[in-house]
Amino acid sequence: MRSHGVLTASFLIINILMAMASSRLSLSRSVHPILRRRAPTKALFCPIKSPKSFLCPLWSSSFSYCLSHKSKTTSATLSFSSSSCCSSLSGPPSMAAAAVATATDAAVDEGLQNNPLLQDFYFPPFDVVEAKHVRPGIRALLKKLESELDELERTVQPSWPNLVEPLEKIVDGLTIVWGVINHLKAVKDNSELRAAIEEVQPEKVKFLLRLGQSKPIYNAFKAIKESTDWHSLSEARKRIVENQIKEAILNGVALEDAKREEFNKIEQELERLSQKFDENVLDATKKFEKLISDKKEIEGLPATALGLAAQTAVSKGHENATAENGPWIITLDAPSFMAVMQHARNRNLREEVYRAYVTRASSGDLDNTPIIDQIIKLRLEKAKLLDYNNYAELSMATKMATVEKAEELIERLRKASWDPAVQDMEDLISFSKKQGALEANDLSHWDTSFWSERLRESKYDINEEELRPYFSLPKVMDGLFSLANKLFGIDIEPADGLAAVWNNDVKFYCVKDSSGSPIAYFYFDPYSRPSEKRGGAWMDEVVARSRILSSNGTSPRLPIAHMVCNQTPPVGDKPSLMTFREVETVFHEFGHALQHMLTKQDEGLVAGIRGIEWDAVELPSQFMENWCYHRDTLMGIAKHYETGENLPEDVYLKLCAARTFRAGSLSLRQLRFASVDLELHTRYVPGGSESVYDVDQRVSRKTQVIPPLPEDRFLCGFSHIFAGGYAAGYYSYKWAEVLSADAFSAFEDAGLEDSKAVKETGHKFRETILALGGGKDPLEVFVAFRGREPSPEPLLRHNGLLPVTSAA
C-alpha cells in the first residue's frame, strides 16, 4: 500500500513514472461468472495515473487506513557476490550513474557535483538527501533525460535494442531519483521538502507527458506488433508491446493538438490536487492532539496505550509524563485512535476522537471538499476526451473486471453480508444491555468498536491487549521468515549497514535462494512516527528486476523493496508488542514484497509487481494473511517476550473461532468504500443537485446497518481514491480477496498439516503467482496455479458467510 504496496493493469513506462507522481470462458460450475473476463468490445487502454505502491485496505472503523505515498522508486544497478549479502559491491557504474552522468561533468557547477541525488550510488542515499538537493537535482536530471529522449526519437527503430532498451533506461533514470525524494516525503516529511517537490513536480509531469505522447515511440511499438517477427516474441514481450500501444492512447497520443493541450493541463492539475489532498490529510491528522491530565478520563486504556500516550506527551514538551501519572496525549494516529475506540470507557472521549477522525481535512485551510469536487470533475473530463462515458470505464479498461462485473461482485457479497451484519448489531445491543450500558438502546459509531471488543472478550475470552506480550516484533519477523522458507525455499538474513536508511529504526534484509545466493533485498520501517510519517501501511519497489539494467551484462539486476508500517513502537525497555491486527498487516505487506522480490521475469517493464492488473495485485498480500491462523505458523510466532512461553492452545483455538467475529459488519464496511468509489466515478454528476456526501449517505443506506453521521466527512480522508491508485478501483480489495481465498484453499485441499504437500504447493505458488509478474495475463497465471478459474465460495466460507442470505 501497498508496501504496495502489495500493488494496475500495466505498470509500464508512463504508468510507472506517473505513479511517482485474451478471454477464456470455462464451463466449470465451480467458477462464478462474476470473475470471468468478457471478450472486450473495445480497445483496452492503460491509464496514465497508476500509483504503484500497495496500500492495505480500510479494514474496520477502528483501523487507520493506509495511505499512498505515490512513489515509484527504482534504485541504482547492483552488483553482488553470490556468496554473501554483505560482500563488497563492485562492477561497472550503476544505471543511476549512467542516467545522470552528463549532469555531473565539468560543465556542471560544484553544487551539482556534490548533490547526492546525482552521485554514483548502488543503494539510494536516504540518509543524506535534503530538500536543498531536490530542485537542482531534478532539473539537471530532466535536462539530461530530455536530451536522451530527443536522441531516441531521432534514431528509434522497431526493434527491442533500439526501442525498449533505451526507453527503459530513460525511465529508470527518473524513477531512481524521483523515487528517493517521494519516499522521503512519505516517511520523513517536512515543509521544505514539500515545497521543493511541489516546485519541480510540474516539470516532471511535463516531461512524462511528452514521453507518453511520443508519436515516434508509439509508431515504433505499432510497427513491432505488425512485423513478421511478432509471433516469435515471448509472451512477456508481447504484453509489453500491446500495453505500450494501449498506454500511449490513454496518454493522449491520438488526440488533436487542442485536445491534447487540454488533456495535459488536466494531468498537471490532477497531480497537484492529489498531492495537496494527501498533505491535507497528513496535516489534519497531526493537528489533532488532546492533552489529558486526569486518569479517570482515560480509564480502560491498556498499559501499552498509556505508555504510548505518555511517550507522545514527552515528545511534545511534557518532560515528566509517565504512563502511570500522565499527562497523556491522544492523537488520530492509528495506535492511539484504535486504543481509544476499543478500550476507553469514557464515552465522551470516544465521541470526541471519533468525530475528529471522520471530519479530518474537512474545514478551514485543510478542507479537501473543493479538491474532491475538482478531482472528480477533471477525471470525468479526461475520460470524455479519451472517448469514455465516465472515469470508471477508463479505469476498468486495464483491469480484470468491468464496471458491471465489479458491481455484480459487490452486490453478491453485500447480500451475503447484510443479514449477518444486522445480527452483529443485535448481538451488540443485547450484550451492552446486559452490561448495564446507558447507551444500549442508542449505540452510535463511537460505541460499536468499544462494545465489540467487550463482546469478543466475553464470547471468546480473548483480550487483544493481553495477547500483545506474545507478539513481539522480533519473534513475528522470525516466524514470518521461517514460513517464507517453508513455502518458497528462501532464506532472509539481516543486512543492516549494507544500505543507508532514513531512520535508525529501519531494518534492511537480504533474501537468498536455496543455494545461498542473494536474489533480493528489502527495507522494513515498522513504527509509527506521527510528526513526520504518513499513517497506514504500504509496500513499494525501490529497484525492479531487470535484464536491460544488469550491471555485468549477464545476470539481471536484483530487486529491492521497502515495507512501511505504523505499528506501536517500543515503549521503555519493552520491544514493540503488536496487536494481532498489526501482525496480519505485516504479513499482508510482506506478501506484496514477495511478489516483487521472487519474480523470475527478466523483462523489467513486467517484472515483479509491474504490469499486473490492479485488481489482481492484492492476491499475494491477502493470501499471506491466511497463514496468521495456521497453527504451526502462529505457534512459531506467538511466544511471550519475557518468558518464552508459547501461546496457550486454548487461546489459539479461540483466535481461530473469533476469525469470523463480526465478519458481516466488516465486509459491509469494505463494500461501502468500494460502492461509493464506483458511484462517484460512474453516475455522480459534478456540480449537480447531489453532493459527494449525499452520495456517501445514499450508498451507506444499503451498506451500513448504522448510517454515517450527517456531518461524516470520511471522503475528505479517503486517500486511496483521491491521492492513491484506487480511483474506481477500491473494489479490487474484494476482487483480489476472492482470488487469494481460493489460492489458499489449494493448500487446504492439499492438507495444511502435510508438510510435504504444503511445500510442493508453495513451490507451485512461487513458480506461478510470485514468479511470472506482469508478463502473463493474471487469470491465466491463476489457472496455472489452481488448475481452474477462481470461485468466490472459499472467501464466503472463510468469512462464515455461507449460505448466502437474503438482502435487506
> Are 609 and 6 in contact, with CB atoms under 8 Å apart?
yes
Phi, psi of 274 (to 5 degrees): -65, -40
**Active-site option among 168, 279, 584, 589:** 589
| Nearest one of 539, 535, 532 to 187, comparing CA atoms | 532
Q: How many Å is the Cα radius of gyration of the chain? A: 25
> What is the C-alpha to C-alpha distance for residues 690 and 677, in angstroms, rounded to an integer?
15
β-pair type (560-567, 328-331): unpaired
| Nearest one of 462, 434, 459, 437 to 448, comparing CA atoms | 437
> Are 313 and 321 in contact, with CB atoms under 8 Å apart?
yes
Q: Which residues contact 436 (CB under 8 A, 6 or more apart)?
A: none
The one-letter amino acid at 300: G
* DSSP bridge partners of 142: none
Q: Which residues contact 265 (CB under 8 A, 6 or more apart)?
A: none
- Annotation says 649 is catalytic: no
Question: HSE of 37 in the Cβ direction (CA atoms, 13 Å)?
Answer: 21
Helix (H) or strand (E) holding 192: helix 191-212
| Cα distances (Å, whole numbers) of residue 532 to 184, 191, 519, 539, 729 | 10, 10, 32, 18, 28
| Nearest one of 194, 248, 264 to 12, comparing CA atoms | 248
> What is the C-alpha to C-alpha distance for residues 225 and 452, in angstroms, rounded to an integer?
57
> Are 383 and 390 in contact, with CB atoms under 8 Å apart?
yes
Cell numbers 501461546 label which residue? 647
> What is the C-alpha to C-alpha distance for residues 101 and 199, in angstroms, rounded to an integer?
24
**Other C-beta atoms within 10 Å of 273: how many?**
19
DSSP state of 358: H
Q: Which residues of 533-558 are buried (b: 16+ CB within 10 A; e: fewer)?
A: bbbbbbbbbbbbbbbbbbbeeeebbb
| Nearest one of 225, 228, 227, 270 to 248, comparing CA atoms | 225
> What is the C-alpha to C-alpha distance for residues 374 and 268, in angstroms, rounded to an integer?
13
> What is the C-alpha to C-alpha distance for residues 480 and 645, in angstroms, rounded to an integer?
18
Helix (H) or strand (E) holding 508: strand 507-512
> Are 298 and 289 in contact, with CB atoms under 8 Å apart?
no
User: What angle do helix axes 369-385 and 257-287 make, rounded to 10 degrees?
Assistant: 160
Residue 522: is it exposed, middle or buried by C-beta count within 10 angstroms (0-12/13-18/19+)?
buried
> What is the C-alpha to C-alpha distance for residues 402 and 396, in angstroms, rounded to an integer?
6
> What is the C-alpha to C-alpha distance for residues 332 and 317, in angstroms, rounded to an integer?
19
> What is the C-alpha to C-alpha distance for residues 295 and 598, in angstroms, rounded to an integer?
50
Q: Is the Cα torsion angle 580, 582, 586, 589 positive or negative in sign?
A: positive
> Are 437 and 548 in contact, with CB atoms under 8 Å apart?
no
| Nearest one of 16, 804, 797, 19 to 419, comparing CA atoms | 804
Alpha helix locations (H) across 527-648?
A: 580-597, 619-625, 631-637
Q: Is the Cα torsion angle 235, 237, 241, 247 positive or negative in sign?
A: positive
> What is the C-alpha to C-alpha distance for residues 506 and 808, in angstroms, rounded to an integer?
48
Cell numbers 483521491 label which residue? 722
C-alpha cell at 153: 526519437
Known catalytic residues are: 589
